[in-house]
Amino acid sequence: MQQSSATLEGRPVKLSQLLTFPNQLTLLRMMFLPFIVIRLLDGHYSWALILFVLAGFSDGLDGLLARTLKQQTVLGQYLDPIADKLLLSTMFLVLSILHKIGWKFTVVVFSRDISILAASAVLYAIAGLRDFRPSIFGKANTFAQIAAVFFVLLLEVHNAPWIAMGRRFFLRATFTFTIISAVHYVLLVGQRLRTHPSPAPPSSSNVPI
């Protein structure tokens, strides 16, 4: 008989957590992604913008509902940032392919996310470090990315000087906060490693000869 729970961060995670309304909204946000990409590839930027705004609205709503309904779950702590990164990284990639966003912005975004993911996996494997919650710089970076994508899409729908200015501003903000948040993550990891107790070395009786 299969167990109905898993473990994340040393805490039990019941599969029934998927049925909570906030987590259902997070999964719905992930389901928006292929439809947004299809609209972009078809050149229907108005529909892509509408779907992106709905996805962004669900992002704020799921967190609010989780706190209001007291349905904050361990699974939700993992699903929410995964959904955010999947949506934003894909949007930057597709918009770069369509020549709507410069490749330098997409390369920086992907480099940071992949580096942090790889470093987190290694640190968890060798030192048991986990639970790297988003910093203020990481949150600012996420907001800048969302705003940048919004203004890029809006400019395709309505070409106005103030929209073009917003596009430039938030793309530059994304570039800046991506670098700052990556450096802050490195400093945070260094601090955690200094305060984290080193694992005890294996005894001589357990060392294979």
pLDDT score recorded for residue 5: 42
Instruction: Please state the rounded mean pLDDT for residues 109-124.
Output: 76
Provide the 8-state DSSP code for 208: -
Residue 119 to residues 140, 146, 183, Cα–Cα distance (Å): 21, 24, 13
Give tens-digit pLDDT for 75-94.
Answer: 666 677 788 888 999 999 99
**108, pLDDT greater than 80:** yes
Q: How far is CA 128 from CA 32, 34, 134, in A?
A: 34, 35, 18
Domain contains 208: no
Assess if residue 156 is contained within a domain. yes
What is the Cα–Cα distance from 37 to 25, expressed in whole angstroms? 19
Mention every residue, 6+ apart, whose C-beta is less than 8 A from residue 192. 123, 129, 132
Q: What pLDDT score does 209 carry?
A: 38
**pLDDT (tens digit per residue) in 23-40:** 777 888 888 899 999 999
The pLDDT score that the predictor gives to residue 3 is: 40
Instruction: Give residue-wise pLDDT tens across range 143-188.
Output: 999 999 999 999 999 999 999 999 999 999 999 999 998 888 878 7
Residue 76 lies in a domain: yes
Provide the pLDDT for residue 66: 67
Percent of the chain with pLDDT over 90: 41
Q: Is residue 72 part of a domain?
A: yes
User: For residue 41, is it within any domain?
Assistant: yes
What is the average pLDDT value for the chain, to the nearest integer? 78
Is pTM beyond 0.75? Reply is yes
Instruction: For residue 163, give its domain range.
Output: 11-194
Alpha-carbon distance 23 to 20, whole Å?
A: 5
Q: Is residue 89 included in any domain, yes or no?
A: yes
* CATH number of the domain residue 41 falls in: 1.20.120
Residue 17 has pLDDT above 80, yes or no: no
Number of domains in the chain: 1
Q: Which of 195, 107, 98 is nearest to 152 (CA)?
A: 98
Position 86: which residue type? L
pLDDT confidence of residue 9: 47
Residue 5 inside a domain? The answer is no
pLDDT beyond 60 at 51 = yes
pLDDT range class, residue 18, cuts 50, 70, 90? low
- CA gyration radius, the chain: 20
Contacts of 19 (CB under 8 A, 6+ apart): none
In a domain? residue 199: no
Q: Do residues 15 and 5 lie in contact, with contact meaning Cβ atoms separated by under 8 Å? A: yes
